Structure 1
Amino acid sequence: MKTLATGLLGVLAVVFVAAFALQDSYPWLQYVRAAAEGGMVGALADWFAVTALFKHPMGVPIPHTAIIPRKKDQIGESLGQFVEENFLSEDVVVAKLDSARIAQKAGAWLAKPASAERVATEGAALIRGLFAVLDDDAVQGVIESMARKHLLDPPWGPPVGGIAERIFAEGHHHRLVDLLVDRAADWVDANYAVVTRVVAQRSPTWVPRLVDGVVGDRVHAEFSKFIRAVQNDPRHDVRLAIDKYLRDLAQDLQHRPETIAKAEEIKEQLLDDPRVRDLTARTWVTIKQALLDAVNDPASDLTTNFKAIIRDFGSRLTHDAELSGRMNRWLADGASYFVRTYRREIAGVISETVGRWDAEETSRKIELQVGKDLQFIRINGTVVGSLAGLLIFTLATAVFG
């Protein structure tokens, strides 16, 4: 385009020289000369204007030329400010999100089986990549520290006692007592021989066998009768004694130092340091292996259920106006907060990036982007100048002869 614009100037210069040389012999060439003269003036003026944007014309440091290299930093700051004020505005962003109906579009996409498959595939790749970069020892250390902070360091007595007190007050333990009594009754019914044998073993050697048998039978009958009574009477003394014992235990776990200390001792015996480390290691290995097996198997329950959840969520977003409206409001609120908080930093990226550019390189990049249109300005200036020169000469000749 530069060659075309400059070539047009050269053509007009040749026309001007030829017309100027021959105009005395051919008076009509005066109009050609005037048009060529005006065209050259317009071409030279627009060449100067276009060139002055990017460099000094012919290397001469004329004031107010090479505008872009000199004003590069100011241009970057102005561009960043323009973007911040006109594009990173809460009103603009919210209005755009409202019109975009992102939740409905995302829901329509997620409801498709192929989309759910894509999300599952990308999620599996993310999980595999996450496990690849995670250090097992570091993760186990985090799990162990969390276990110590939330499980081992706090005393067990008061919280366990508080939970137990609510359970016992509401009678939830009665089912467990019923189960134990039923099992005891079943055992007694099924172990007559055991009861009679124990009685015989405990009786003196001088007692006749017949007496042992009678006593054993009596003991078994009374034992069975006692268990049946406990089993059938919700207000039996044994049941009431168990309730009282459990309520007292719940209170002691909360308020009695000796019982609290005993609970702490039991905790330390159950979960000493080696056991905690072993528990956290096995927990992490189990979770990691289970997830890897699930994501590596497209037919696993986890993958299948995840795809179904994705499709169901997409369908709900598409058809549930309340849910999609709530999602759109969340997106708008999140975008508003992000723009309100970070728009200066985002716009600053533009000015900082432009500020790091070399001045001449910046000028060249901009010229490559808009230079073609600027060369059209030179061509248009040549044409307009030619027409203006012809018109002016024609009017002057008509008026002044």
Structure 2
Amino acid sequence: MNRTEREEPAAAGGGISEAAPGAASGTAAPGERRTGLPSFAYTEADAEKQRGVRRMKQTATGLLLFVALIFALATWAENAGAGPWAGYVAAAAEAGMVGALADWFAVTALFRHPLGIPIPHTAIIPSKKDQLGASLGTFVGENFLSGDVVRGRLRALGIGARLGAWLSDPAHADRVTAELSTALRGALTVLRDSDVQAVVGEAITRRANSVEIAPGVGKTLEKVVADGAHHRAVDLVCSRAHDWLVTHAASVMDAVEGGAPGWTPRFVDRKVGERVYRELLRFVTEVRDMPGHPARGALDRFLNDFASDLQSDTETRARVERLKSDLVSRPEVQDVIASAWSSVRAMIISAAEDDRSELRLRARASLLSLGARLATDERLQSKVDGWVEDAAVYVVTTYRGEITSLISETVASWDAEHTSRKIEAHIGRDLQFIRINGTVVGALAGLLIYTVAHALGA
């Protein structure tokens, strides 16, 4: 049996053969193109729709055969002298057959070559699939992905007001807080401590080495001395020193005696130790109790001079920078920087997991406050709408080519026969009504033409 003979019965019925089991189950048909893009799978639901299409094809074909039978009977009756009515019926049936055949040809030409004959401009979907995909992508890009269309649609939605009304609901705020907490925990869990510690340590070290701290420290010290803020520290040191001397009097005198020459008598060493201790205790007591003590003034002058040197003396500034670099590069300091991340991470995770933690309570309160403002503040709503519109317009204008190419490339990846079968399963039933309507409209048109022609001829 040749190809024409195989397709003729299906063409006469306006349909196609039953889908192969592999196609119906969603597996690739034998000629289906294998690509990295999702396949246009022919599912069991498509197979069920195809059975409905086949039933409609049988109905349309049955109507064609019915009018053909009427035409044959009417023609026989007319030749047998049954009367003028037979001519009217024959004309209507003849036109109905013409309309049915013409519409069968048009519907069939969408999906295959009628009767298997490669007539030009037939089998449109299989042969023009790629062009249709490209045209569809262009259509979507021009009519749905234009900046004006996106901006107008988003403006009509009133996203700011809707978001405010949604967030002002405590239940929704709780949900967003929980989702944010889950996302935060997930992000902190995924991050490797060693990587974060290395990044944080390197960032702090680089920042510390790139900024000269001496002038800033000098200005701060100068302001502290000018405001007298250091006096409380001096008071504390003097008080602690006095208390220590009172408690460790024997130790101080023993230290003085131990430093005396070996040829001096012991009682002399003892007397000297006691005198040194009393003078030291008197000096510390006077400095503690006398705000105007000369020692305090000398300390103020020293601090002022040091603050000035930190800001203007090159050698002092260089020494401070070397001290800073040595301090930052010490392993102990790097360990402190690295361990800080672990502490912060554990603290954040614990707060995110606790429903009553300060972090989650503040986040929930902030969301509710934001929702209340968005629901009532038109200026804030306008800002949010503008941000959303600008972001959406940027995305569609920047990536419009990628989006439309996805459409055209996806359609191009579909197998032509497979695609034709699936499309016919979805729209073929409605197309069969074209054949039915063509039969009815053709019969009525033929009857009208025959009637007008006889009326004018009379």
TM-score over 0.5 for the pair: yes
What is aligned with 2:442? 385
- Displacement of 1:40 in angstroms is 1.1
5 Å matches for 1:248-397? Answer: 248-249=309-310, 251=312, 256-269=317-330, 271=331, 276=334, 279-280=337-338, 282-397=339-454
Aligned letter for 2:334? V
For residues 175 and 370 of structure 1, the distance between their equivalents in structure 2, rounded to whole angstroms, comes to 90
Deviates more, 1:255-264 or 1:18-27: 255-264
Name the % identity. 38
Alpha-carbon deviations, 1:40-94, whole Å to 9, x = none? Answer: 1111111111111111112111111111211111111111111111111111111
Residue of structure 2 in register with 1:107 after alignment = 164
CA distance in 2, matches of 1:255, 1:334: 53
Matched, 1:236 2:297: yes
Alignment of 1:188-267 (within 5 A): 190=243, 193-194=246-247, 197=250, 200-201=253-254, 202=256, 205-206=266-267, 219-230=280-291, 236-249=297-310, 251=312, 256-267=317-328
Select 2:154's aligned residue among 97, 106, 118: 97
1:26 partnered with 2:82: yes
How far apart are 1:12 and its partner, in Å? 1.3
* Contact 2:224–2:230 (8 Å) recurs in 1: no
Q: How many residues are treated as equivalent by the alignment?
A: 393
Cα 1:268–1:188 shift into 2, 3 Å? closer
Within 5 A, what are the aligned runs for 1:87-166? 87-134=144-191, 136=192, 139-148=193-202, 150-153=203-206, 156=209, 159-166=212-219
For residue 16 of structure 1, the aligned residue among 46, 65, 71 is 71
Assess, with a 3 A threshold, how the Cα gap between structure 1 residues 196 and 121 changes in structure 2: closer, same or farther: closer
Cα RMSD between the aligned structures? 3.2
Structure-2 separation of matches of 1:132 and 1:155: 29
For the residue of structure 1 that corresponds to 2:361, the secondary structure is helix
Q: Deviations over 1:343-401 (max 9, x none)?
A: 11111111111111111222223323332332222121111111111111112222224
Change beyond 3 A, Cα 1:184–1:291 = closer
Aligned residue type for 1:144: A
For 1:300 and 1:68, the matched residues in 2 are separated by 62
SS at match of 2:120: coil
| Residues 39 and 381 in structure 1, CA contact (< 8 A), matched pair in contact too | yes
Match status 1:167 vs 2:220: yes
SS of structure 2 residue aligned to 1:124 = helix
Q: Is the 1:131–1:288 Cα contact (8 Å) retained in structure 2?
A: yes
**Unpaired segments of 5 or more residues in structure 1?**
none
Deviations 1:112-164 (A, max 9, x none): 12212222232233334434544x2xx4234314422x333466496221321
What is the Cα deviation at residue 193 of structure 1? 3.1
Work out the CA distance in 2 between the residues paired with 1:257 and 1:384.
101
Report the Cα distance in structure 1 between the residues aligned to 2:226 and 2:60, rounded to whole angstroms: 97
- 2-structure distance, mates of 1:239, 1:131: 49
TM-score of the superposed pair, with normalisation by structure 1: 0.85
Instruction: Please report the TM-score for the alignment, with normalisation by the length of structure 2.
Output: 0.76
Residues 302 and 266 from structure 1, CA distance in 2 versus in 1: closer, same or farther, beyond 3 angstroms?
Answer: closer
Partner secondary structure for residue 171 of structure 1:
helix
In 1, the alpha carbon distance for the partners of 2:432 and 2:384 equals: 50
Q: Is the 8 A contact 1:107 1:315 kept in 2?
A: yes
